[in-house]
Amino acid sequence: MATAHTARTTETVPSLPQALVSVLDASHSAEADFEALSRAILRDTGMTSRLLAAANSPFYYRGSPCRTIDRALFSLGLDTVRSLALTAAIQQLFGNYRPRHAGALRIIWRRALTTAMLGQVLASLTRYARPEDAYLAGLLVDLGKLMRLATDEARYWPLLAGSTDDRELVARERATYGKHHAELATEYLTQWGLNGFVSDAVRFHLEPTEQVRDAHHLVKIVHLAHRLGREAPDTIGDQALAAAHDLFGLNEGLTRELRTRIEDDVTRVAGSLGIELDTGSTPTQDPETDPDQAAREALGMRVRDLTELERLTGELRRSEGPREHSRAAQRTLFLTLGIEHSLMFLADAEGTSVSAWLGEEDDPDFTLPLLPGRSLVTDTLLEREIRRHELTSETSVPVIDQQLFRLCDAEVIWAFPLVADAGIPPAGVLVLGLDRERAQTLEARTEFIQALAREIARSLVSDTAHSVPPEGTRTDDLTQERIRETLHEAGNPLSIIQNYLGVLNAKLGEQHEANHELTLIKEEIDRVGRILLRLQDPEQEITGPVVTLNRLVQDVTDIVDRSLCRTRGIQLELDLAPGDPPLSVPGDHVRQILTNLLKNAAEALPPGGCIRLQTRGPEEVDGKQTVTLVVADDGPGLPAEIRAAHYRPVESKKGEGHAGLGLSIVRRLADEIGAQIHCDSDRDGTRFEIRLPHREAEIGEIRTRQG
């Protein structure tokens, strides 16, 4: 685990301002995308090292090291990553790292990214199992240089600027510090708990080629990637070409082609970030002609905006009621953007109108019905889109909008919908009154104003959710409100998990053996979402994909077998009907019934026990067509009190963490789809037989609806 000292050291590691802007934008976007955030972080050594150090610190350690950026992101959470990025940006702006060294930083950034990309390509080409390790090690090869620049600039800068190559720098570092920068970086990587071969790859990347030819595959990959990355594509030296041949049998043509392709990739990344790559050999930069000045100014603007957002969030938490929220927002708009005139229209509980208060009176000064075309304000809320309007002599606008122009002393009215998150109704509309010159200037700050509007909306929604209900409010209304809150809160982690599965899927590729398991997990998450939707409207028919009985049984048993049975030493046997009969009832219900029965059986059986599943094709029982699912085990049987309860909820005998609801849920789900359940249980085991209605005509109808 990382110590407090290592965390403090990595906090000061400098980053290119353009890279920090990219990370801040990705972490504070309206819909923060973990894949985009991971991609932004993995372009910068400083942010990568800060994230790994934090994730492996005692404050966030989860029992095993975080060895990848994706895992570190999910371990820390989005709020912590935002704080790390903002802290890094503030330190970058106001710390001791001098602009005159921006040229050196740009060279280090370029070489690290080149080494990382080359390492990843070489790993894939030579069939190394974890190309992401090669990328990470390549990105961190110069971490030690950045640490010394940050913590001992006075002594280290002359060494770095005065060395003609790595060999000379290593000799001077050892004379000054006793160890070179790769050895320093390795100490930290080891403390963070990174893969030992990743640390070795960083530690030995400067060794002569003949010293690493028998080393671990990853060490050789990063060594070659670093050697090739130091040289221009069209002037690769004989020693680097010989290293490519000796280590991996790569011929000259292929080596030059790989190096050229990576150079193009690095140039594209630099262009997307607005980084001007330094083609000179001297790592110095005149502050007067510093090409990173615009990036530092942009970083300063992001820091100012995000700091103001944090301050506004704090004010909103401390304030109570819509009017105080409105005043807090108006103060922030004035202090940050110089906007003197702004108004907030708030939506009523029924979502039929919006109101605005100009003074201290209880009655609103304006109440507008939520009908299209009645006002700039109502159209903004109904369409959930930013709207801008200029008042000219040729323009015909409703009187209410003309009054807004007068009240705000404005030539331009700019309206932002107050939307907290997707799926939640807008809380109102934020109206800004501006002159034309100011409106044009603020175009560049649109994203910040949107973020501010989002924070206001979240506070308003939070107030509504936690307010004391007025006397006479119906209990079922409150229940529905709590359900809506629960659905919203549950939807966030489910969306994140789905997003992460997409990242994993893309990284593994279509042919990876784990894709089947990832598909099963995705289907289970989709099913959880449909179960939650049934909470909101139990009468609503929420259908999942059309499935067949055997396929459904195989999917569920794959999950249960791996997660429960094998870990407990329990055998799972299948006896599936030929022909795989299609289901004419909702597959989610059957899946949930089977999951509950299998889970109960697995938790009741001792090691060595056996669960047997059987399916039977369409057959006539009591004059009705059915398909049958049987779940049997050789366990001790159901306790007498559970058999006597006839599927009603009882106190569970399985210990803490079990609610005793499984069988009652099975009965309810079976009733909902018209299934019959028969249970036999004694000391020799338990056998559930579920007969599912089978109606061929309805199967065709379901397919038509779904397709």
For the chain, the average pLDDT equals 76
Q: What is the pLDDT of residue 247?
A: 92
| Top-confidence residue, 641 or 629 | 629
Could you give phi then psi for residue 629, rounded to 5 degrees? -125, 125
Amino acid at 326: S
pLDDT of residue 148: 85
Collapsing DSSP to helix, strand or coil, 114 comes out as helix
Distance CA 585, CA 595 (A): 16
What pLDDT, on a 0 to 100 scale, did the predictor assign at position 224?
94
Measured CA to CA, the distance from residue 419 to residue 427 in angstroms comes to: 6
The pLDDT of residue 473 is 45
Cβ-contact 52, 6 below 8 angstroms: no
pLDDT tens column, 199-236: 899 999 999 999 999 999 999 999 999 999 888 888 88
What is residue 632's predicted lDDT score, i.e. its pLDDT? 93
Instruction: Return the SS3 of 231.
Output: coil
- pLDDT above 90: residue 180: yes
Residues 6+ apart with CB under 8 A from 377: 345, 354, 368, 400, 401, 404, 415, 429, 431
| Per-residue pLDDT, 527 | 61
Is 613 strand, coil or helix? strand
Share of the chain above pLDDT 90, in %: 13
Average pLDDT over residues 437-458: 82
pLDDT in tens, 321-375: 667 777 777 777 776 677 888 888 988 877 888 888 887 777 888 899 988 888 9
Q: Determine which helix (DSSP H) or strand (DSSP E) holds 687, and give its type and residue range.
A: strand 685-693
Query: Distance of CA 47 to CAs 4, 39, 435, Å?
Result: 17, 11, 40
Q: Is the pLDDT of residue 565 over 90?
A: no
Three-class SS of residue 173?
Answer: helix
Closest CA to 107 of 248, 270, 268, 261: 270
Distance CA 490, CA 511 (A): 32
15 token code pair: 């980053």
Alpha carbon distances (Å) from 79 to 153, 419, 626: 32, 19, 52
- Residue 603 sits at the vertex; the CA angle it makes with 599 and 604, to the nearest 5 degrees, is 115
Is pLDDT at 400 greater than 70 in this prediction?
A: yes
Query: Whole-angstrom Cα distance, residue 104 to residue 333?
Result: 39
The mean pLDDT value for 98-119 works out to 79
Provide the CA 136 distance to its chain's centre, in angstroms: 19
What per-residue confidence (pLDDT) applies to 31?
54
pLDDT band at 143 (very low <50, low <70, confident <90, very high): confident
Q: Looking at the predicted structure, is the pLDDT value of residue 16 above 70? A: yes
Structure tokens at 453: 């509007």
Question: What average pLDDT score do residues 158-162 get?
Answer: 87
Can you tell me the distance from the alpha carbon of 327 to that of 315, in angstroms, rounded to the nearest whole number?
Answer: 10
The per-residue pLDDT for range 592-631, each reduced to its tens digit, is 889 888 888 888 888 889 999 999 888 887 778 889 999 9
CB of 433 closer than 8 Å to CB of 405:
yes
Amino acid 185: pLDDT:
87
pLDDT-based confidence at 707, cuts 50/70/90?
very low
300-336: b or e for each residue (b if 16 or more CB lie within 10 Å)? bebbebbebbeebbebbeebeebeebbebbbebbeeb
Look up residue 415 and give its two tokens. Answer: 């309206």
The pLDDT value given to residue 493: 53
Which residues on adjacent β-strands are paired with residue 616? 628
Q: Can you tell me the mean pLDDT for 466-485?
A: 50
d(CA 443, CA 440): 5
Nearest to 148, CA basis, from 121, 172, 124: 172
Q: With contact defined as beta carbons under 8 Å apart, do 617 and 627 qualify?
A: yes
The 10 Å Cβ neighbour count of residue 508 is 13
Higher pLDDT: 661 or 251? It is 251
pLDDT of residue 560: 82
CA nearest 618: which of 674, 578, 589, 672?
578
What is the average pLDDT across 250-255? 90
pLDDT over 80 (residue 654): no
Backbone angles phi, psi at 149, to 5 degrees: -60, -35
| Per-residue pLDDT tens digits for 528-542 | 666 665 555 555 454
Q: State the burial class of residue 484 (Cβ atoms within 10 Å of its Cβ: 0-12, 13-18, 19+).
A: middle
Q: Is the pLDDT of residue 547 over 50?
A: yes
Q: For strands 571-575 and 428-434, give the pairing.
A: unpaired
Cα atoms in the Cβ-side hemisphere of radius 13 Å centred on 130: 13
- At 664-695, the pLDDT tens digits run 778 878 888 888 888 888 888 899 999 998 87
Asked whether residue 288 carries a pLDDT value surpassing 80, the answer given is: no
Residue 208: per-residue pLDDT? 92
Residue written as tokens 């963070």? 192
Average pLDDT over residues 472-484: 52
More confident residue, 200 or 32: 200
Alpha-carbon torsion angle 641, 647, 648, 654, nearest 10:
60
Residue 8 predicted with pLDDT over 90: no
Q: From 193, 169, 238, select the one nearest 6 (Cα to Cα).
A: 193
CB atoms within 10 A of CB 452: 24
Element (H, E) at 262: helix 252-273
Looking at per-residue pLDDT, the higher value among 323 and 486 belongs to 323
pLDDT surpassing 60 at residue 488? no
Q: Which tokens is 221 given?
A: 């990959």
Rg (CA), the chain: 32
Please, which residues bridge with residue 686 across strands? 633, 681
Residues 53-91: tens digit of each pLDDT = 877 776 665 556 777 777 777 777 776 777 677 666 666
DSSP state of 353: E
Query: Residue 205, exposed/middle/buried by CB under 10 A (0-12, 13-18, 19+)?
Result: buried
Q: Answer yes or no: is pLDDT of 259 > 80.
A: yes
pLDDT for the residue 699: 46
pLDDT of residue 647: 55
DSSP state of 145: H
More confident position, 692 or 290:
692
Over residues 489-525, the pLDDT tens digits come to 455 455 556 555 665 666 676 677 677 677 767 666 7
- Token pair recorded at residue 177: 């510090």
